[in-house]
Amino acid sequence: MSSDDAAMSPDALRQLDEVTGALSGLGEVLGREEELGRVLQCSVNQVVEAIPGADMASVSVLRGDSAETAASTSERVWAIDSDQYAAGDGPCLEAARTGQIVRVGDREGMRRWPEFARSARAAGVRSYLSAPLFIDETFAGSLNLYATQDGSFGDLDEKLLALYTTAAVTAIANARRYTAARDLASNLQRALESRAVIDQAIGALMAMRGIDAQAAFEVMARESQNTNTKLRDVAARILGIVGQAGDGQKTSQ
């Protein structure tokens, strides 16, 4: 049966109905996730269930001129993707770079990406379906499906993957915003903690040497520069010395 016939058949339409419902529910699940790694892993695990004919899946992420696999359904996929990155071309990279869905069978794969397709064939892969994932200027990649049978993916699978990718992009964007907010909060907390330690050390130097706050800060700044040590670490060292001196006085008494 041709892909056009399959797209028009009652069975295909019923399948589309079922998968659309599943993807809608999946979008809600992904939307509740907050950690980016879990979102990506959930995406590849679920897409294999949602897209007929898919045996394996992965997410490729471009980083400048290189790429890496951020999530996959098996170690086998990691190896296949790694061969593609080493070859410098293939369905995942093409989808990520062009922003277009790439659907290729074994013969066309050998013609378009001979080096990669040979290693993929040796690993038992015969069909590829990759959709671009573009979140923002810092996150671009692709969601990739692999099948062990030639011609496993048709027009319907391509449409389903496009639908799925829309839900995945939303979830990934949400996870990235959560991660950025969490990191900002963590950095602010570390900054506050560092400031507290520095302020305490300034106070200790003022008491020990009878100098003002500016002079105490300059003493610490010079020590930081001379020893190539962070100001917070210099402050912690001073407080440690003060603490030891205090313990010594208590012992002698």
pLDDT in tens, 88-124: 999 999 999 999 999 999 999 999 999 999 999 999 9
Which residue would you say has higher pLDDT here, 102 or 175? 102
Total-model pTM: 0.62
> What are the structural domains of the chain?
3-181 (3.30.450.40), 189-252 (1.10.10.10)
The closest alpha carbon to 92, from 121, 69, 64, belongs to 69
Look at residue 81 and tell me whether its pLDDT is greater than 80. yes
Do residues 161 and 129 make contact, with C-beta atoms less than 8 angstroms apart? yes
CA distance 37 to 30: 12
Least confident among 30-39, 57-66, 150-159, 213-222: 30-39
172-179 average pLDDT score: 61
Look at residue 30 and tell me whether its pLDDT is greater than 60. no
Look at residue 62 and tell me whether its pLDDT is greater than 80. yes
Q: Give residues with Cβ within 8 angstroms of 90, minimum separation 6.
A: 84, 113, 116, 117, 120, 128
Least confident among 15-24, 56-65, 138-147, 209-218: 15-24
Do residues 136 and 175 make contact, with C-beta atoms less than 8 angstroms apart? no
The closest alpha carbon to 147, from 12, 44, 56, 40, belongs to 56
CA distance 125 to 176: 32
> What per-residue confidence (pLDDT) applies to 4?
46
Residue 163 in tokens: 């639908």
Look at residue 63 and tell me whether its pLDDT is greater than 70. yes
48-70 average pLDDT score: 86
> What per-residue confidence (pLDDT) applies to 238?
83
115-134 average pLDDT score: 91
